[in-house]
Amino acid sequence: MHSDPTDRCDAGSAPSAGVEPEPAKAARATAGRRQANAVIAPPAWAKDLRLLFDKVVEEPLPACFIELLSRLDADG
């Protein structure tokens, strides 16, 4: 029976999944991907930043802006 402990390096695979070709390498690659994702994945505050922006976008438009453009339009 193959008992190389590195067979279990990939915590995400089932115990009966068998021997991976290069499990240690695969595990390192997975860890690397996780690390990369941790850098590029949007943090919670990124969503909140968008929320702050969208809250203003969704506010009712003050009449002064339309009045200004109507005045400019009328003036030619």
Partner 1 sequence: MTAAQRSTADFKRELIGVIPQLRAFARGLCGRSELADDLVQETLLKAWAARDRFEPGTSIRAWTFVILRNVYLSGLRRARFQGDYDEVAAERILSAPAEQEAPLHLADLHRALMTLAPERREALLLIGAGGFSYEEAAAIAGCAVGTIKSRVGRARAQLATMIDNGTVERRSKRDPVANAAIMAELQRATRRR
- Considering the complex, what minimum distance in angstroms separates the CB of residue 67 from partner 1? 10
List 2, 20, 51, 74, residue binding partner 1 (CB under 8 A): 51
Contact flag: residue 63 with partner 1 (CB under 8 A): no
Cα–Cα distances (Å) from 57 to 2, 3, 70, in that order, read 62, 61, 21
What single-letter amino acid sits at 15?
P
Q: How many residues bind partner 1 (CB under 8 A)?
A: 24
> Please, which residue, 28 or 50, has the CB nearer to partner 1?
50
> What's the CA gap between 36 and 30, in Å, rounded?
10
- Is residue 74 involved in binding partner 1 (CB under 8 A)? no
Alpha-carbon gap, residue 76 to 71, rounded angstroms = 9
Tokens of 46: 């990124």
| Span interacting with partner 1, options 7-15, 16-24, 26-34, 64-72, rule CB under 8 A | 64-72
